[in-house]
Amino acid sequence: MMSKSVKLIVGLGNPGPRYENTKHNVGFWVVNELMLRLRLNRLENLCRSLIARTEWYDSEIIFAKPMTYMNNSGQAVKALVQWFDIGLDNLCVVYDDLNLELGMLRIRRAGSDGGHNGMKSIIRHLDSQDFPRVRIGIGKAEGEWMDHVLSDFSAIERGKIDVVVRRTADSIETLVTDGVQVAMNRFNGRVKPKSNS
């Protein structure tokens, strides 16, 4: 049993090399970026997810990438929430959003699934939509939405999204240290990189 507060940061995506670089996997990329910053190399297979655990500031942090495929993300998230006995206010889900302009970042403390199948599954399994989430804009589909989210970024798009992935990691750090409201105020809208001063 962990003595400190436990926070669960979940990045959504699809497992396997076929999907590794697709737009639908930016949630995974944010978790990868955070693990890189914190020098976390060891992954555990638990609750149908790949997870890494660490102490970060005053919290026990669990980073998770569900291996259930996007549409069944709720199965893994519910299992993790129950296993670690995490309150939904200490859950944060990071995922792509084709309803946001490419590269935009939106943090919310609660809300609907917005048509995102991964979030739809999570809300259904948790029987609640009252948990923080971070949405990363991948831009609207010109054709079929499924083809769009399962396609790779162009070289120009990838340059933009890589910057946003780093900024999203900054926003998660702020969320952990200062809470959702501060993260929303600092990173929603016109996103700014974290100051080094």
Lowest mean pLDDT among 55-59, 104-108, 123-127: 55-59
Buried b (16+ CB within 10 A) or exposed e, 149-177: bbeebeeeeeeebeebbbbbbbbbbbbbe
Measure the CA dihedral 87/116/175/195, to 10°. 170
Residue 196 scores a pLDDT above 60: no
Cβ pair 112, 162 in contact under 8 A: no
Residues 43-91 pLDDT 10s: 999 999 999 999 999 899 999 999 999 999 999 999 999 999 999 999 9
Whether the CB-CB separation of 31 and 63 falls below 8 Å is answered with yes
Domains contained in the chain, CATH given: 5-187 (3.40.50.1470)
Q: Give the mean pLDDT of the chain.
A: 93
Please, which pLDDT band fits residue 2 given cuts at 50, 70 and 90? very low
- Look at residue 158 and tell me whether its pLDDT is greater than 70: yes
pLDDT at 1 over 60: no
Decide if pLDDT at 97 tops 60.
yes
Here the tokens at position 153 are: 């970024």
Q: What is the pLDDT of residue 142?
A: 81
> What mean pLDDT is predicted for residues 171-190?
92
Task: Name the pairing type of β-strands 5-11 and 49-56.
Answer: unpaired
Rounded CA-CA distance 162/32 in Å is 12
The pLDDT of residue 193 is above 60: no
Catalytic positions are: 24
In the chain, pLDDT over 90 holds for what percent of residues? 87
